[in-house]
Amino acid sequence: MEIFRKNFTLQDKILEYLREGEDSISGLHRKLEKEGIKLHRLVLTGYLKALSDVGILKESEVKPSKVYSLKPTRRRDLYEFVGEIVRDFADSKKEQARLCVYVLQKLFRRPIFLEEVKRCGLDVDDIEATKIGGEKRLQARKTLSNTYIKLPYNDPAYMVKDDEKMDGIYMEILRGIILQALNAKAFVFKGKQLKLE
């Protein structure tokens, strides 16, 4: 099944589809099948019901079918925040991936795996950064083993050399993440920054 080869769970895939808007069981079933994910329709129905019961999805009835959407109060994880903001700061996928590694390595103080960059919503196969191996990679992998992220066996780890320009961007991204996470964007003055005299 492609879904597990890419190290995405069924939940990840469903949430990815529903970010585009609400959908019915049939619609989600078709999308999964189109990607080569074969699930019996009743299994998918039960799974969607379970996601709704635990508060991840919102279930509505639009006769004659049930429609699912993301719950507005669903908490996004740090990877989603980083991915969204990194896309605003860099144009090319190559720059986005490099900046993403830099931001995450500064936050987590360790090498960053390709799987983590993909969790930020960036579609990359390789990153313009130093590949990290040996003991550093092993320690980073061990750190992640205590989290919900499951890494493919030979997932590469990367680090980006410290850079003054990227440090400035990192601070802006960190500021953006904090404002977004705390829903505090409305408090930000939109004009030129005021300075003390």
**pLDDT tens figures, 122-168:** 988 879 999 999 999 999 999 998 888 889 889 999 999 988 888 88
The reported pLDDT for the residue numbered 197 is 59
Q: Distance (Å, rounded) from C-alpha 177 to C-alpha 70? A: 21
Cα dihedral: 114, 117, 122, 126 (round 10): -30
Is the model's pLDDT at 195 over the cut of 60? no
Q: Distance (Å, rounded) from C-alpha 140 to C-alpha 107? A: 13
Q: Distance (Å, rounded) from C-alpha 147 to C-alpha 43? A: 27
Residue range 10-15: mean pLDDT, rounded: 85
pLDDT over 90 for what percent of the chain?
31
- Which helix or strand (DSSP H or E) is residue 137 part of? helix 134-144
Paired residues of 76 in beta bridges: none
Q: Distance (Å, rounded) from C-alpha 149 to C-alpha 78? A: 12
36-45, 166-175, 178-187: which range is least confident on average? Answer: 178-187
**pLDDT tens figures, 109-124:** 999 999 999 999 898 8
Pairing mode of beta strands 23-24, 65-70: antiparallel
Q: Which residues of 106-145 are buried (b: 16+ CB within 10 A; e: fewer)?
A: beeebbbbbbbbbbbbbebeebebeebeeeebeebbeebe
Measured in residues, the chain has a length of 197
On whether the CB atoms of residues 157 and 140 are closer than 8 A, the answer is yes
Structural domains in the chain, CATH included, are: 2-70 (1.10.10.10), 78-184 (no CATH)
pLDDT over 70 for what percent of the chain?
91
Highest mean pLDDT among 10-24, 99-113, 180-194: 99-113
